[in-house]
C-alpha cells in the first residue's frame, strides 16, 4: 500500500450559529422512528478509513485501466490514484470509477449518530480525502455540529461557486448504507474526478452534519451564505442514490403526485411503476442544470424523472416530500439547488430501518448509483464552466 500524501492543515471555524433549547427540541421532534432498541449508536470498532488512492485488491500499481460503461464508452480509470485528466464534461463522466465509489461506500455504511466514533471517522474521511485532493478544507463548526467544506478555486477570482453535497450523519440503530453512505461516497468520487480539472467557477464539496434532525448543518451554511452574499450558482445534493428495482409496482409516489405532475406520472404508469430511474427536483434557478443532468443521464442509459419547480410549487405544503433533504435550506434562501435521489421510502422498505431490517450494502445496486454519480459529475462540470 502506498503512503498517503501529506495532509494540508485544516481550519475549524468557531461557532457561528446559536439555536435556543426550544428550537433544538422542535428539531429533535422531526426525527423519524428508527428500527431496533434505543441507544446512542456509538460504533465500538470503527474501521480504518480507506486510502484516498482507492486502490483495489489485485490492482497493479501505476497501471491504467478502462472500465466499460453501459453505452460502450470507457471510463479512462486509473489505478494509481491520479485525478481525472478530462477536459470535457463527457470525459469527466468517464473518469468516475465504480470500485472507488464502492470502497468508500463500504467504509461509510455503519452506525454514525453524531458524536459516535464512526460519525467522527466519516467526518475525518471527508476532511482527509478532500485535503489530499488539494481542496482547501474547513471544519465548519456551527455550534451544534460540524460540516466539512472543501473548496477548489476556479480561475475566475470571486466567481460563481458550485456545491456538490451530501449528509454524513444518520440515526441510531441503523447502518444507513443508502441513507446516506451512497451520497457521501458519490460526492467524494466527484471531488476526485474534478479536483485537477481547471474550470472558471469554483467547486465546493460539502459533507453536511445533522440532516436527520432537521437539516441543521446545511441550513446553517445556507443561512450564512445568504447573509454574506456567497455567489452560489448551483447546489447538487445527493440523498440516497443506491436503490433500484426492475420489478413492476416497486415504485410508489406521494399523494397528489399524479395530479401535479401528470406527465411524470404517465411515464411511471407506462413503465409499470418500476423503480429503475433516478429522481431529481430543483427550483427554477437550476432548470437548465436539470435538463443538462437528464441529457448526461440519457447518454449513458440512465432513466430519469424530474421537475424544476416554480417558487410557488417549491413552498407548497402538499409537496413537502420534495423538501426532505439538504437542498431545502438553499431553496429557502433563493439559492439554486437540486435534489438527486432514488426516492427513499417510496421504493425502499428499509429506509430508516422502518421495516425492521437494516439499511445495508446488500440492498443496493452499485452500478446504478455509479451511473447517477457519472451523470451528476457531468452536469456539475457544465455548471463549473467546463
Interval 80-89 mean pLDDT: 75
CATH number at residue 128: 3.40.630.10
Task: Tell me which long-range contacts 73-82 makes (C-beta under 8 A, separation of at least 24).
Answer: 73/300, 79/55, 80/53, 81/2, 81/52, 81/53, 81/54, 81/55
Confidence of residue 141 (pLDDT cuts 50, 70, 90): very high
d(CA 138, CA 227): 19
Which residue do the cell numbers 439555536 mark? Answer: 19
Interval 302-331 mean pLDDT: 89
Interval 99-127 mean pLDDT: 97
pLDDT above 80: residue 105: yes
Q: How many domains does the chain have?
A: 1
- For residue 46, tell me if it sits in a domain: no
- For residue 100, tell me if it sits in a domain: yes
pLDDT at 320: 80
- For residue 24, tell me if it sits in a domain: no
Interval 110-116 mean pLDDT: 97
pLDDT at 293: 98
pLDDT above 80: residue 71: no
242 or 13, which is more confident?
A: 242
pLDDT at 314: 85
123 or 55, which is more confident?
A: 123
pLDDT above 90: residue 203: yes
Confidence of residue 311 (pLDDT cuts 50, 70, 90): confident
Confidence of residue 82 (pLDDT cuts 50, 70, 90): low
Confidence of residue 325 (pLDDT cuts 50, 70, 90): very high
User: pLDDT (tens digit, 9 = 90+) per residue, 166-182?
Assistant: 999 999 999 999 999 99
- For residue 137, tell me if it sits in a domain: yes
pLDDT above 50: residue 14: no
- End-to-end CA distance of the chain, in Å? 34
- For residue 38, tell me if it sits in a domain: no
Interval 204-221 mean pLDDT: 96
C-alpha cell at 316: 407548497
- For residue 31, tell me if it sits in a domain: no
- For residue 287, tell me if it sits in a domain: yes
pLDDT above 60: residue 38: no
Kindly write down the DSSP assignment for every residue of 348-374, as one continuous string: -TTGGGTTSS---GGG--HHHHHHHHH
pLDDT above 80: residue 35: no
- For residue 30, tell me if it sits in a domain: no
* Non-local CB neighbours of 201 within 8 Å, separated by 6+ positions: 154, 156, 159, 160, 161, 162, 233, 383, 384, 385
User: pLDDT (tens digit, 9 = 90+) per residue, 260-299?
Assistant: 889 999 999 999 999 999 999 999 999 999 999 999 999 9
Average pLDDT, whole number, for the chain?
A: 83
User: pLDDT (tens digit, 9 = 90+) per residue, 42-54?
Assistant: 333 344 456 444 3
Interval 152-176 mean pLDDT: 96
Residue in 216, 194, 218, 193 with CA at minimum distance from that of residue 206: 218
pLDDT above 80: residue 59: no
Interval 360-377 mean pLDDT: 98
318 or 216, which is more confident?
A: 216
pLDDT above 80: residue 22: no
- Of 41-45, 49-53, 62-66, 218-222, the least confident: 62-66
| Residue 223 CB neighbours (<10 A) | 17
Number of Cα atoms under 13 Å in the Cβ half of residue 74: 6
* CA of residue 324 relative to chain centroid, distance: 14
pLDDT at 255: 83
| Residue 287 CB neighbours (<10 A) | 16
Confidence of residue 1 (pLDDT cuts 50, 70, 90): very low
Confidence of residue 254 (pLDDT cuts 50, 70, 90): confident
Kindly write down the DSSP assignment for every residue of 62-97, as one continuous string: T-B---B-TTS-B---BSS-PPP---SHHHHHHH--
The torsion angles phi and psi of 219, rounded to 5 degrees, stand at -65, -40
Number of Cα atoms under 13 Å in the Cβ half of residue 219: 19
Provide the residue range defining the domain that includes 123.
88-383
Q: Do residues 292 and 318 lie in contact, with contact meaning Cβ atoms separated by under 8 Å?
A: no
Amino acid at each position: 500500500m502506498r503512503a498517503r500524501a501529506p495532509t494540508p492543515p485544516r481550519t475549524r471555524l468557531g461557532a457561528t450559529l446559536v439555536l435556543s433549547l426550544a428550537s433544538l427540541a422542535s428539531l429533535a421532534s422531526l426525527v423519524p422512528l428508527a428500527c431496533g432498541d434505543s441507544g446512542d449508536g456509538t460504533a465500538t470498532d470503527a474501521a480504518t478509513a480507506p486510502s484516498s488512492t482507492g486502490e483495489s485488491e489485485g490492482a497493479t500499481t501505476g497501471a491504467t485501466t478502462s472500465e466499460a460503461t453501459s453505452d460502450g464508452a470507457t471510463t479512462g480509470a486509473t489505478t494509481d490514484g491520479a485525478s481525472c485528466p478530462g477536459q470535457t464534461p463527457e470525459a469527466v463522466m468517464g473518469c468516475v470509477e465504480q470500485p472507488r465509489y464502492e470502497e468508500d461506500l463500504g467504509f461509510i455504511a455503519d452506525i454514525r449518530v453524531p458524536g459516535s466514533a464512526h460519525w467522527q471517522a466519516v467526518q475525518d474521511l471527508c476532511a482527509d480525502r478532500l485535503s489530499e485532493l488539494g481542496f482547501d478544507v474547513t471544519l465548519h463548526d456551527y455550534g451544534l455540529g460540524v460540516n466539512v467544506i472543501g473548496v477548489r478555486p476556479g480561475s475566475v477570482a470571486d466567481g460563481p461557486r458550485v456545491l456538490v453535497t451530501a449528509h454524513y450523519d444518520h440515526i441510531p440503530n441503523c447502518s444507513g448504507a443508502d441513507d446516506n453512505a451512497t451520497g457521501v461516497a458519490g460526492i467524494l468520487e466527484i471531488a476526485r474526478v474534478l479536483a485537477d480539472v481547471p474550470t472558471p467557477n469554483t467547486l465546493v464539496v460539502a459533507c453536511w452534519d445533522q440532516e436527520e434532525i432537521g437539516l441543521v448543518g446545511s441550513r446553517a451554511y445556507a443561512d450564512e451564505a445568504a447573509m454574506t452574499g456567497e455567489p452560489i450558482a448551483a447546489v447538487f445534493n445527493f440523498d440516497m442514490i443506491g436503490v433500484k428495482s426492475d420489478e413492476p409496482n416497486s415504485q410508489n409516489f406521494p399523494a397528489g403526485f399524479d395530479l401535479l405532475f401528470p406527465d411524470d406520472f404517465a411515464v411511471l404508469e407506462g413503465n409499470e411503476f418500476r423503480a429503475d430511474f433516478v429522481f431529481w427536483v430543483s427550483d427554477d434557478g437550476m432548470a437548465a442544470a436539470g435538463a443538462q443532468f437528464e441529457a448526461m443521464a440519457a447518454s449513458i442509459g440512465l432513466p430519469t424523472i424530474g421537475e424544476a419547480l416554480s417558487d410557488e410549487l417549491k413552498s407548497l405544503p402538499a409537496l413537502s416530500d420534495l423538501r426532505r433533504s439538504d437542498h431545502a435550506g438553499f431553496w429557502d434562501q433563493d439559492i439554486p439547488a437540486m435534489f438527486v435521489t432514488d426516492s427513499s421510502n417510496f421504493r425502499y422498505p428499509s429506509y430508516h430501518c422502518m421495516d425492521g431490517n437494516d439499511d445495508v450494502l446488500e440492498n443496493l445496486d452499485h452500478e446504478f448509483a455509479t451511473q447517477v454519480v457519472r451523470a451528476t459529475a457531468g452536469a456539475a462540470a457544465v455548471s463549473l464552466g467546463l
